[in-house]
Amino acid sequence: MSNMTFTMIKPDATAKGHTGNILQHILDSGFKIKAMKWVHLTAQQAGLFYEVHKERPFYGELVSFMSSGPIVAAILEKDNAVSDFRAVIGATNPAQAAEGTIRKLYAASIGENAIHGSDSNENAKIESDFFFSAFERF
């Protein structure tokens, strides 16, 4: 899956009405949408998704935030999808994100940072499989 990545538009961004602008930004950056859904995760589902961060001090906050409202989950396709998408979203902390990145434009804080992007090809596959069956990918 070196040409695929996985993203979520997080609850802060959907609540503020940024969903459309963020999807347009993703398309304008050259990504194709292979799968997409609008879902509200339970705390249990968010906890499972972020299980790798279980030992981090912000885990509880992250799980409650990610289950606080609806998100858009999507699989995106482009050459070098994982690294190119990380460049499009910007640094985890929006205060350190480069100008023009999605987090710089739409995120308020390191915790509520508007969007997720996979950090490796391996995790892109794991995360995509968490949300989507083969019948939901086009």
The entry of ligand ATP, Mg ion, none that residue 117 binds, CB within 5 to 8 Å by partner kind: ligand ATP
Which listed option, Mg ion, ligand ATP, none, makes contact with residue 113 (CB within 5 to 8 Å by class)?
A: ligand ATP
Tell which residue, 136, 124, 130, 138, has the closest CA to residue 41. Answer: 130
Q: Which of residues 97-116 bind ligand ATP (CB under 6 A)?
A: 110-111, 113, 116
Footprint (CB under 5 A) of Mg ion, residues 96-135: 119
Backbone angles phi, psi at 112, to 5 degrees: -105, 80
CA distances from 89 to 56, 106, 107, 138 (A): 22, 10, 10, 24
User: Residue 116 catalytic?
Assistant: yes
Size of the site for ligand ATP (CB under 6 A): 11
**Helices and strands per DSSP (H, E), number in the chain:** 7, 4
Using CB under 6 A as the binding rule, the residues of this chain from 24 to 83 that contact ligand ATP are 53, 58, 61-62
> Cβ closer to ligand ATP: 124 or 134?
124
DSSP 45-77: HHHHHTGGGTTSTTHHHHHHHHTSS-EEEEEEE
For ligand ATP, the binding residues (CB under 6 A) are: 53, 58, 61-62, 92, 110-111, 113, 116-117, 119
Catalytic residue IDs: 116
